[in-house]
Each structure stands twice: as structure tokens, then as C-alpha cells.
Amino acid sequence: MFRPLVWQMAQATNRMKAYKLIHETVQTNSDFQHERVLELLMNSAQLELKIKRMFKQLLAEKVSHWTKLRSECESRMDELSDVFSGVKPLTRVEKNENLTGWFKEVGSFVIITI
């Protein structure tokens, strides 16, 4: 059925009155604080900016860091090659009591299980 225009306007006006009443009731009876929401938005924007800067820095340093680590790995592999050829002793190893004990323990475990 087609409703008369006056009826539709009356319903819209009643809806607006109800909305305003609900809105005013919620605002007066709640602890909602606009300042806290704005502060939260500002803090999240600052966090987003910091993270963005960190990722930019990581991406900028990625290639140089990879190149440095690759050359270090290459030199260590060359050194291991020399060590196992019997030409050169392993020079970069520092004394470590914890690792010594661990290797002895693993060695005794291998002996027991074999």
C-alpha cells in the first residue's frame, strides 16, 4: 500500500525524536570521554608512524646487512676448508667450558647408544 506523505513525515519525525532522546540519554548516563578516544587515536597514529619508520630503516639496511653476513660466511667457509685440509688450525674458537662439557656428554651418549 502507498502511505500518504504526511504519514511518512510524521514517522520520520518520530524516529528523529526517538534518536535524539536515546542519544541524549546515552551521553548523560555514560562515562564516554571524547578526549580519551582522541588520545587513543593520536597514540595509535604515533605508534603507526614509529613502526613505519622502523620498517623503512630495516628495508634500507637489508642489502648491506645481507652482503656483510654473506662475506663473513664465505670467509668462515674458506677457513673451515683450510682447517679440514690440515693446513691451518681453527683460530676463531674461544675456550668455552659449557660447550666442552656438552660435547663430552653428547660423545658419551653416542658411545652408549652405538
pLDDT tens-place string over residues 54-95: 999 999 999 999 999 998 888 888 888 887 787 777 777 777
Element (H, E) at 3: none
| Domain contains 83 | yes
Confidence of residue 13 (pLDDT cuts 50, 70, 90): confident
| Domain contains 94 | yes
pLDDT at 57: 96
Q: How many domains does the chain have?
A: 1
pLDDT at 87: 78
| Domain contains 20 | no
The residue-averaged pLDDT of 19-25 equals: 80
Would the pTM count as exceeding 0.85?
A: no
| Domain contains 19 | no
| Domain contains 39 | yes
C-alpha cell at 87: 693446513
Three-state DSSP class for residue 26: helix
The parent domain of residue 90 ranges over 33-113
| Domain contains 81 | yes
